[in-house]
Amino acid sequence: MSKVVGNLKDAIAGISKTKAWKALQKEYDKMENFDLRTAFEQDPDRAKNMTFDVGDLHIDISKNLIKDSTLKLFEKLAEEVNLKQAIEDQFTGKHINNTEDRPVLHTALRYPESEKGTLIVDGQDVIGDAWGVLNRVFALSNAIRSGEKLGVTGKKIKTIVNIGIGGSDLGSVMVYEALRGYANSDITARFVSNIDPTDISEKLKDLDPATTLFIVCSKTFTTLETLTNARLAKKWLLDNLRNLDVDEKDTISKHFVAISTALNEVKKFGISPDNTFGFWNWVGGRYSVESAIGANLAIIYGEEVFREFLSGFHVIDKSFRTSPFNANPVVTLAMLNIWYVNFYNAHSHAILPYAQYLHRFPAFLQQLTMESNGKTVRADGSSTDIQTGEIFWGEPGTNGQHAFYQLIHQGTRLIPADFIAAVNPTYALKDDDGSGEKDVHELFLANFLAQTKALAFGKTKEEVAAEGTPQNLVNAKVFDGNRPTTSIIFNSLTPAVVGSLIALYEQITFVQGIVWGLNSFDQWGVQLGKVLALEIFPALSIDDDALNAQDSSTRALIEFYRKNRE
């Protein structure tokens, strides 16, 4: 493994040699006595001047460990890495995924339909092609929702089972949960991703096969987990409908949809070309939820909601592409992450949505950020000598407050945190504790605001002692503060807001990759385990030669498995 360092004074190559980076190092060296309490006292306009409004998002970065001079240095760094050109290269279809020789054009998936014909890449009208597929998806959606397209027994489809993994699963799951407040049909969804047979068994056991539609998402239609689960689903469907004397080919045709570009493989499985929807090698899996991969969302929530969802992406894309660096929230937030990773030696980043419907958002961001930038090799093939990537994690508030906030508030590790909340709830409920009715959502948001305030300003030893705290407990009740947070709030959790949140973090990840010199769009690190799994598989049952080829630890574990498998 290449050497990575936490202290950039030891860095000797790459971005650390630039003037802007060295200037940021000097800025960091002067931050030792920086205090957020003092910063707010000295600048009454700090919050106003460190707030962005983009689309429906209101973003406050004022509770971060930065000064105006820091933000100016962020701009200098963006200029020094030629970020403006990198942004244009992404949006215009240059092959910035250099290890796979591909453009990166998920942004083309969310252009307005009126933009068809305005972006030609490698001879392809990418916006026109994207909308060609989306309109077919909408036709399928409308036919299922209206009851025009029925199952093989003539019953209406009631459940969509999405079969995929990674980018073919996480985005759809997250958005499905996020938009539950927009449920406007009697169709629900389930998601199967894990090859653990428990997953598909639990998801299928109480379903009616006559009202179930499977959507199999695999670009190559060869993904081990996805195809294994698809075959299991096919067997379940046919076994459970066999006594109804239905035609097998007709059954597969009416109960299976494929999202894939491998038409021959799809045809072998038995899925009709009419039920097959493609996407392109310029769409990475973790960037694909707004493509045909989101067909389940279009079916469940309808075309209108899906179009609004796409509009939220485009607002962020447009702002990111056209805004100057000093008024560009994507660039600023990306530079903040770099500031903490590379100068404050922060290893992780907490995502804390105060919106229950966003409970899968941290998991979605784990793939987006960690698969994109979890690398020790630069895009040019050289080894990096600075820290790259962050460990993203989190849970919804207020659950997290009763689980891990102790570490964020008083632990030894600096953990930057993004707090995300809606002004208006999906459900407005009031509680009466005997002293009068209280708006439960306001109580919820009070916690949101209190946590960011406590993390920023803390509680001094003097303040704790003044409350009459016993001397032996004073130190335990001190909060140092100066724990950085960013607040992202919006009117309500609409489809456009969900799209904007995804695009915001997508482009933040892109900017970090440019600064670190990475190709954020390949993921070679996931391949080795897949290859080894296929080599180990025969050793689990009868192949002693495969068993003997393993290292001593793996061999001993397999022997334990063989002995104890019932």
What residues are labeled active site?
371, 402, 530
Distance between CA 190 and CA 193 in Å, rounded?
10
Q: CA nearest 230: which of 207, 261, 210, 259?
A: 259
Cβ partners under 8 Å of residue 482, min gap 6: 34, 35, 36, 65, 456, 458
117: left (phi over 0), alpha (psi -120 to 50) or beta: left
Task: Tell me how far CA of residue 363 lies from CA of 174, 292, 359, 391, in angstroms.
Answer: 8, 21, 8, 11
Q: Copy the structure tokens of residue 29.
A: 């060296």
Q: What is the dihedral of CA 555, 556, 560, 563, to 10 degrees?
A: 70
Cβ partners under 8 Å of residue 464, min gap 6: 474, 477, 478
Where would I find the H helices in 323-469? 329-338, 361-365, 372-373, 405-410, 440-457, 461-466
Say if residues 299 and 140 touch (Cβ distance below 8 Å). yes
Query: Residue 215 — φ and ψ, nearest 5°?
Result: -115, 115
Cβ partners under 8 Å of residue 32, min gap 6: none
Distance between CA 335 and CA 337 in Å, rounded?
5
Say if residues 64 and 486 touch (Cβ distance below 8 Å). yes
Half-sphere exposure of 489 (CA within 13 A, CB side): 14
Say if residues 164 and 216 touch (Cβ distance below 8 Å). yes
CA of residue 436 relative to chain centroid, distance: 41
Query: Residue 256 — φ and ψ, nearest 5°?
Result: -135, 135
Query: Residue 6 — φ and ψ, nearest 5°?
Result: -95, -30
